[in-house]
Amino acid sequence: MKKERLDVLLVERGLAESRERAKRSIMAGIVYVNGEREDKAGSSFPAEAVIELRGSTLRYVSRGGLKLEKAIETFHVNPSGKTCIDIGASTGGFTDCMLQNGAEKVFAIDVGHGQLAWKLRNDPRVVSMEKTNIRHVTPEQIGMRAGLISIDVSFISLRLVLPVAKTLLAPDGELLCLIKPQFEAGREQVGKKGVVRDRDVHREVIVRTLTAAAELGFRLLGLSYSPIKGPEGNIEYLALLCLGEGQAFPEPLPEIAERVVSESHSALDRESGA
């Protein structure tokens, strides 16, 4: 049975004007094959495979932009006129959202390469720092302190990234980080396919991560859940932090974590029918 590349199939079926546009749609996470989301343009499928675009009205180059969009709406984060840093940029969803909300400049940092969307690579406001381990980045490399930093990383604990982010943040800046239980919990707490469903583990991870942030001098401005689940169905959490004196938490942290975890499972599990 003959198979063809996914980006070629999209063009042949009139779902994309060119292979470049097809790749953008695939990287944006809106291409589904036989009901399953596919994120690799080079994957091959039979000619009779069922291919569809879902949510093709997405405003950003990837679904990641929806996470920052929620933070902007919920926490009143304002990238306008600021120098921003997108740690774990990948395709550039956060970067795209920052720019669409008036960011003056964005440093897009990622340990991988070749992932940042083409339109962002060619945007003069974007400084692409590929093949860059954030733990080795210095303020001198950036040349200025950022007014807004976002962190959306995988396969590494936030507790290893926050100390570096602190050195890159302006005194009056804000830091938005995605807390991912699957990369913060102990190995024995992670289920099949890297999914963490236990609410107790979610609460534990949030408390441990934000306590570590407080020990670095961060204060919690807001905590909510990501509007979209991770690739395997993990619920993730958005935390907005800042530096400065004052109470680290507006109320006891376990109570905050309990409330947000409960809200996240009620909303996202209902949406997915879990």
123-153 pLDDT tens trace: 999 999 999 999 999 999 999 999 999 999 9
Confidence of residue 19 (pLDDT cuts 50, 70, 90): confident
Mean pLDDT of 163-168: 98
8-state DSSP, 152: -
Query: How confident is the model at residue 271, as a pLDDT?
Result: 56
Mean pLDDT of 83-111: 96
Query: How confident is the model at residue 152, as a pLDDT?
Result: 96
Helix count and strand count (H, E) for the chain: 10, 12
Residue 55 has pLDDT above 80, yes or no: no
Report the alpha-carbon distance of residue 29 to residue 263 in Å, rounded: 25
| Fold: same for 3-53 and 64-272 | no
159-168, 187-196, 204-213, 217-226: segment of lowest average pLDDT:
187-196
Residue 62 has pLDDT above 90, yes or no: no
Span 68-79, pLDDT tens digits: 999 999 999 999
CATH number of 64-272: 3.40.50.150
Both structure tokens of 37 = 């989301």
Query: How confident is the model at residue 125, as a pLDDT?
Result: 98
12-16, 32-36, 116-120, 244-248: segment of lowest average pLDDT:
12-16
Residue 31 has pLDDT above 80, yes or no: yes
CB atoms within 10 A of CB 55: 11
Task: Quote the pTM value.
Answer: 0.80
Confidence of residue 56 (pLDDT cuts 50, 70, 90): low
Largest CA distance in the chain: 66
Span 172-209, pLDDT tens digits: 999 999 999 989 887 777 767 778 788 999 999 999 99
5-19, 60-74, 85-99, 145-159: segment of lowest average pLDDT:
5-19
Question: Which residue bears the tokens 């790749």?
Answer: 23
Which residue ranges make up each domain of the chain?
3-53, 64-272
3-state helix, strand, coil in the chain (%, to 5): 40, 20, 40
Query: How confident is the model at residue 111, as a pLDDT?
Result: 93
Fold that domain 3-53 belongs to in CATH: 3.10.290
